């Protein structure tokens, strides 16, 4: 092993140790920062139009005063929630302010060719937007399906319950069942019983399960990911990371597939050797 190789090995070993320690330090901020990145990606085009021609040093002051006021009012009763929201808002503010510069710095830091980096970032952006769009579409579909049942079964406040069903569909635990289950109990209570049975069957068999079909289908179409592995990545991401895992699962899968594609392009497999058929000639024993 040469001196340069030993130096490189020691350098990368030290770098891994430092990254691990930094990861431990930054762990409490991971989820708020991830949400800030997602919100920044969605809000940046609108923010760029709204702040065109205005003084940003002034906007920062207003935002800072607002955040400090919110922290003062809410820290007494919900410190953990306020802390996460504060981190997310501050991160979102600076991402909207310095997002292009941060993106360019990260882009230049990655030790890959421009073509490979473009593939990674394009796939990441496409996957993120596909997941967000699938969440919105799924919420609308589940709300409409449940709302149709509420209306047909004569449940009061149908529009309000429909909107609540769509809103609660974003929750990883309970979801739409937090709305249609109380409605089912209400229908069993007031009678006739068949209305409660219909609502129970429709809610459990259709409303609460349709998202397992719609989400993989929409994400797979938008992000161009294999449906089966995408289905596993969604469920596994939810189990491992909670609601944010719904995004992390498909994103990690997209990164892996992109890395495999790059590997296959740079290191194509050697063609399989052709099987040479044995000679059809049959050797005869020498004549005596």
Q: Are both 103 and 127 inside the same structural domain?
A: no
Q: Are both 195 and 234 inside the same structural domain?
A: yes
State residue 179's pLDDT score: 92
Q: Does the residue 280 lie in any domain?
A: no
State residue 22's pLDDT score: 60
Q: Are both 192 and 150 inside the same structural domain?
A: yes
State residue 271's pLDDT score: 58
DSSP per-residue codes, the chain:
--HHHHHHHHHHHHHHHHHHHHHHHHGGGHHHHHHHHHHHHHHHHHHHHHTTTS-HHHHHHHHHHHHHHHHHHHTTT-HHHHHHHHHHHHHHHHHHHHHHHHHHHHHHHS-S-HHHHHHHHHHHHHHHHHHHHHHHHHHHHHHHHHHHHHHHTT-SSHHHHHHHHHHHTT-SSSTTHHHHHHHHHHHHHHS-HHHHHHHHHHIIIIITTTHHHHHHHHHHHHHT--HHHHHHHHHHHHHHHGGGHHHHHHHHHHHHHHHHHHHHHHSPPPPPPPPPPPPSPPP-PPP-
How would residue 282 be classed by pLDDT, with cut points 50, 70 and 90? very low
Q: What percent of the chain has pLDDT over 90?
A: 18
Q: Are both 97 and 126 inside the same structural domain?
A: no
Q: Are both 103 and 125 inside the same structural domain?
A: no
Q: Does the residue 40 lie in any domain?
A: yes
| Burial bucket for residue 186 (CB in 10 Å: 0-12, 13-18, 19+) | middle
Q: Are both 164 and 244 inside the same structural domain?
A: yes
Q: Are both 46 and 164 inside the same structural domain?
A: no
Q: Are both 77 and 194 inside the same structural domain?
A: no
State residue 260's pLDDT score: 79
Q: Does the residue 286 lie in any domain?
A: no
How would residue 99 be classed by pLDDT, with cut points 50, 70 and 90? confident
Give pLDDT tens digits for 42-62.
776 766 666 665 554 655 555
Residue with the larger pLDDT of the pair 240 and 279: 240
Give pLDDT tens digits for 3-37.
766 666 765 676 676 666 666 656 666 777 777 77
Residue 140 clears pLDDT 80, i.e. is over it: yes
State residue 65's pLDDT score: 52
Looking at the 3D structure of the chain, how many domains does it have?
2
Q: Does the residue 279 lie in any domain?
A: no
pTM for this model (two decimals): 0.64
Q: Are both 128 and 65 inside the same structural domain?
A: no
Q: Does the residue 278 lie in any domain?
A: no
Q: Are both 125 and 96 inside the same structural domain?
A: no
Cβ-based neighbour number of residue 88 at 10 Å = 20
Residue 113 clears pLDDT 70, i.e. is over it: yes
Q: Which domain holds residue 28?
A: 3-109
Give pLDDT tens digits for 80-92.
667 777 777 887 7
In sequence order, what are the residues at sequence separation of 6 or more whose Cβ sits closer than 8 angstroms to the Cβ of residue 186? 155
Q: Does the residue 55 lie in any domain?
A: yes
State residue 201's pLDDT score: 94
Q: Does the residue 224 lie in any domain?
A: yes
Q: Does the residue 275 lie in any domain?
A: no
Q: Are both 130 and 218 inside the same structural domain?
A: yes
């Amino acid at each position: 092993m040469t001196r340069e190789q030993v130096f490189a090995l020691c350098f990368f070993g030290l770098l891994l140790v430092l990254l691990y320690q930094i990861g431990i330090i930054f762990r409490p901020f991971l989820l708020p920062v991830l949400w800030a990145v997602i919100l920044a990606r969605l809000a940046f085009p609108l923010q760029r139009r709204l702040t065109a021609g205005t003084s940003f040093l002034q906007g920062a002051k207003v935002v800072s005063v607002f955040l400090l006021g919110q922290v003062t009012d809410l820290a007494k009763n919900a410190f953990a929630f306020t802390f996460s929201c504060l981190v997310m808002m501050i991160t979102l503010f600076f991402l909207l302010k310095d997002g292009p510069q941060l993106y360019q710095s990260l882009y230049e830091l990655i030790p890959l060719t421009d073509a490979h980096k473009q593939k990674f970032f394009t796939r990441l952006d496409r996957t993120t937007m596909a997941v967000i769009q699938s969440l919105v579409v799924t919420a609308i579909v589940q709300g409409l399906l449940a709302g149709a049942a509420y209306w047909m079964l004569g449940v009061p406040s149908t529009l309000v319950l429909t909107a609540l069903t769509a809103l609660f569909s974003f929750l990883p635990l309970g979801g739409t069942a937090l709305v249609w289950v109380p409605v089912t109990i209400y229908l069993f209570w007031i009678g006739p019983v068949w209305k409660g049975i219909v609502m129970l069957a429709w809610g459990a068999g259709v409303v609460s399960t349709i998202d397992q079909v719609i989400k993989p289908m929409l994400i797979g179409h938008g992000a161009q990911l294999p449906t089966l592995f995408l289905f596993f990545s969604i469920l596994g991401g939810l189990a491992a990371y909670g609601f944010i895992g719904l995004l992390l699962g498909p994103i990690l899968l997209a990164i892996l597939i992109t890395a495999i594609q790059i590997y296959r392009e740079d290191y194509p497999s050697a063609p399989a050797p052709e099987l040479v058929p044995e000679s059809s000639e049959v050797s005869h024993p020498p004549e005596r």
